Structure 1
Amino acid sequence: MNQPFGLVRWRPVGIAASVLATFALAPSAGAAEKLSVEIGGEYTQYFGYVDNDTNSGDFTGFDVKTDGTIVFGGEITLDNGLSFGMEVGLDAMSSGGDQIDGSILYVESSAGRLEIGQTDTVAALMHYSAPDVGYGINDSDISDWVVNLSGGDADSAFQSTYLYLGEDQASKINYFTPRFSGFQFGVSYIPEFERDNNVQPAGDLYSDGIAFGANFVEEFGGVEVAVAAGYLFADKPDSVGAAGNDAEGYSFGANLTYAGFTVGGSYANTQGNPGGGTDTATSFDGDGFDIGVAYAFGDASVSLSYYQGSVEDSVATAGDSDHNTIMLSGAYDLGPGVTVLGSIFRSEFEADSGADNEGWAVVTGITLEF
């Protein structure tokens, strides 16, 4: 994947910089040549133990979990200087029968980059959050280990500062400006949320969504600075009337890196209802933040991070649902494309209904990048 404008990453979190570099190194082609497709990706197997303190079931014990994405991508540069490319992500482990994890066609030139397809908005793609070198604390699958008894999830600030609000698999248009003097801006248009097919929008889900993103990436005297802000809005479905709310969210994030140390954090505020705005009995109105520090030395790195989020959850129940996680992680590069990692974390999920689960987990994994 070619990213001359300094985009932070391709979602999901697991796709590594080496995958992007694979596509970036593909040779340019003149008008007489066709686009050729490269294959890259990342594959991780986790093994861990978790202790869940809940009466809703026996979720304590060992388990093996899988995470990975295979990315098919290619780019061709025409004689006029325009570059055209495509990327399709294929999940190694998926739920709900949706095996494709994003697909885009893009056009790139000195005037910027235009993306069309199923990907995240610019608000998410340009975001920065607290560093973690292991399993991941922000927008990760923590609840695969420590059971979440509430209605909050990573579509809201309950578990993520990345402003998804249910639109991350929806078809959309993204535009990114070139980066100049460290600054880059972006805008997204989402015809309809929760839509990963070609069915014509009918006004029965969040629609006419728009997102804005901006970040600043620069180095000053050996200190690398990265600061980001994002905003997302969409109109509520026609059918919900006064019972529903428009989808809206904003986020901020920053990272500072010096002499191997990275300190960072982020904040998000989200409003709206799940199910593309149709589940008016549940609300993801709330906010969340993370903070963390990481240190890289040679082929090894360690990090300590914390996340806290809260949402209204059940509209009919007083109080909020809360979540907090603290995580200590480490990673070591065994060789090109081979990394061993581990995380120890404690999470607590407290539902507004009074249900509560506090658990801790020890998770190790091996990641292969290709």
Structure 2
Amino acid sequence: MKKVLLAGTALVATALIASPAQAELKLDLGGHFSGYGVYVDEDEAAGTDYDNFVIRKNTEIHFTGETTLDNGLTVGVHVEQDIENQNDNDESYAYFSGGWGRVNFGNEDGAAYLLQVAAPAADSNVDGLRTTIQGYSFDFGTLDYDHAQFGNTPSANINGTVAAAAAVTSPDTSVDRFTYLTPKFNGFQAAASYAPRAELAVGVLNTVSPSSYEDLWEVSARWDGEFEGVGLSFGAGYSTSDATVGLASGAGDAEAWNVGFNLGWNQFSFGGSWLDEENNPVTAFVVGGDVDTTTWVLGAAWDNGPYHVGVSYLDRTDEIAATPDIDSYKTTIGGGYQFGPGMTFRGAVAFGEASNATLLGAGEEGEFTQVTLGTDIQF
């Protein structure tokens, strides 16, 4: 009888281990689809022939499960599945929130991005610091300084690939981290993030493998308010990380600053954002040299009911050791029409250039004109 009881107890224990209680989370499905026809006219290097017109998409599916416990604690899990880009899993993290604030745990954008204030855009998919649709490309040879090659990868700058420190400290590189956001008090909110490890993605100034950094810290703050009928938003963030021992000898730490503001009055808005990224990489092109990338954007927009019109100007300078600066700019004019909840038709024209005597030849400038026409559906 004792053996039977022991066997029964073992079976119950095994059943409890094999079938743990499941969290009762309310599951929501969402995401977005951005589809465009993209036409580009640009300067081409000798012997190259780029496509002038392509269809490009940026699609994500979002899964969110959330519940609020009797003690007031909200617990959730969020997963983003990236369809077009190389990484199948874009973000996946758990979050906990209450009157004390919110904690994110997992693969999610850090504090420096989450509270960032962006400038108004002609089309938020086409212009600004985080572009997802663009088509122009310059062949800068050994630097791999290509402008997206009609690709879809989000970029923190005009280039479509992530440069040096941007790969570590920009919002485009999601890594596993802890993030704490304070509750909003009189329009003010602050945040801090920590990641024990941060990968430096390939791109402009490809870093010699192994390309990794550690101890990525981010802090940020933002204030939203109103004065005399004018809506005001101000924000700033700072990121820093240390080069690992395994990184090629001579590599330095990476850090970045971002500052932004936005003013809104009636249907009009105006704002700007500034991003400075500093790094000391060891690359096939620069050994132990400093790389300082400064990007700033100004934008203005008019929104009236379903109609949107906007214009923005982006200026970027890459200061590279022992190499003339790479100067790039882009002006974008565009608009949109909301034909249903979360559904818009969009169109924009962008033009600009990038110049560097070493990479393009003395007195040469890489000029481009880009036309985008498409739809954005948020669901």
Q: Secondary structure at the match of 2:113?
A: helix
- Could you state the TM-score of these two structures normalised by the residue count of structure 1? 0.81
Letter in 2 for 1:367: D
Letter in 2 for 1:214: A
Aligned to 1:37: 27
The Cα shift of 1:68 comes to 1.6
* 184 and 159 in structure 1: CA distance in 2 versus 1, 3 angstrom threshold: farther
Aligned to 2:347: 342
Q: Structure 2: how far apart are the matches of 1:258 and 1:46?
A: 31
Q: Structure 1: how far apart are the matches of 2:357 and 2:92?
A: 37
Q: Is the Cα contact below 8 Å between 1:295 and 1:302 reproduced in 2?
A: yes
Residues 1:192 and 2:192 aligned together:
no
Superposed, 1:1-370 pairs within 5 Å as 34-55=24-45, 57-95=48-86, 98-134=87-123, 135-141=125-131, 144-150=134-140, 151=143, 164-166=166-168, 168-194=173-199, 205-240=212-247, 243-272=250-279, 281=287, 284-313=291-320, 315=321, 317-351=322-356, 353-355=358-360, 356-370=365-379
Q: Structure 2: how far apart are the matches of 1:189 and 1:125?
A: 14
Letter in 2 for 1:38: D
Q: Structure 2: how far apart are the matches of 1:335 and 1:180?
A: 34
Q: Secondary structure at the match of 2:49?
A: coil
- Could you state the TM-score of these two structures normalised by the residue count of structure 2? 0.79
Q: Is the Cα contact below 8 Å between 2:316 and 2:327 reproduced in 1?
A: yes
Q: Structure 1: how far apart are the matches of 2:255 and 2:42?
A: 33
Deviations 1:244-267 (A, max 9, x none): 221111110000011111100011
Letter in 1 for 2:196: P
Letter in 2 for 1:312: E
Q: Structure 1: how far apart are the matches of 2:284 and 2:177?
A: 20
* 211 and 140 in structure 1: CA distance in 2 versus 1, 3 angstrom threshold: closer
Q: Secondary structure at the match of 1:354?
A: helix
The Cα shift of 1:60 comes to 4.7
Letter in 2 for 1:258: W
Q: Is the Cα contact below 8 Å between 2:195 and 2:216 reproduced in 1?
A: yes
Could you tell me which runs of 5 or more consecutive residues in structure 1 were left unpaired when the two chains were aligned.
Answer: 1-30, 197-202
Q: Which of these two proteins has the greater Rg computed from alpha carbons?
A: 2
Root mean square deviation of aligned Cα: 2.9
The Cα shift of 1:204 comes to 6.5
Q: Secondary structure at the match of 1:37?
A: strand
Q: Structure 2: how far apart are the matches of 1:332 and 1:298?
A: 9
Deviations 1:226-251 (A, max 9, x none): 10000001111224576222111111
Q: Structure 2: how far apart are the matches of 1:43 and 1:271?
A: 34
Q: Is the Cα contact below 8 Å between 1:319 and 1:352 reproduced in 2?
A: yes
* 312 and 239 in structure 1: CA distance in 2 versus 1, 3 angstrom threshold: farther
Q: Structure 1: how far apart are the matches of 2:368 and 2:132?
A: 10
Aligned to 2:14: none
Q: Is the Cα contact below 8 Å between 1:249 and 1:271 reproduced in 2?
A: yes
Q: Structure 2: how far apart are the matches of 1:237 and 1:157?
A: 26
The Cα shift of 1:350 comes to 2.9
The Cα shift of 1:148 comes to 3.7
Q: Is the Cα contact below 8 Å between 1:138 and 1:159 reproduced in 2?
A: no
Q: Is the Cα contact below 8 Å between 1:240 and 1:280 reproduced in 2?
A: no
Q: Structure 1 residues 160-169 or 71-80, which shifts more? A: 160-169
Identity across matched positions, percent: 28
Higher relative contact order (CA 8 A, sep 6+): 1
Letter in 2 for 1:52: E
Deviations 1:7-56 (A, max 9, x none): xxxxxxxxxxxxxxxxxxxxxxxx99700211101101101211011125
Letter in 1 for 2:378: E
Aligned to 2:206: none
Q: Structure 2: how far apart are the matches of 1:347 and 1:204?
A: 32
Q: Is the Cα contact below 8 Å between 2:179 and 2:194 reproduced in 1?
A: yes
Q: Is the Cα contact below 8 Å between 2:108 and 2:176 reproduced in 1?
A: yes
Q: How many residues align?
A: 329
Q: Secondary structure at the match of 2:167?
A: coil
Q: Is the Cα contact below 8 Å between 1:283 and 1:311 reproduced in 2?
A: no
Q: Is the Cα contact below 8 Å between 2:43 and 2:138 reproduced in 1?
A: no
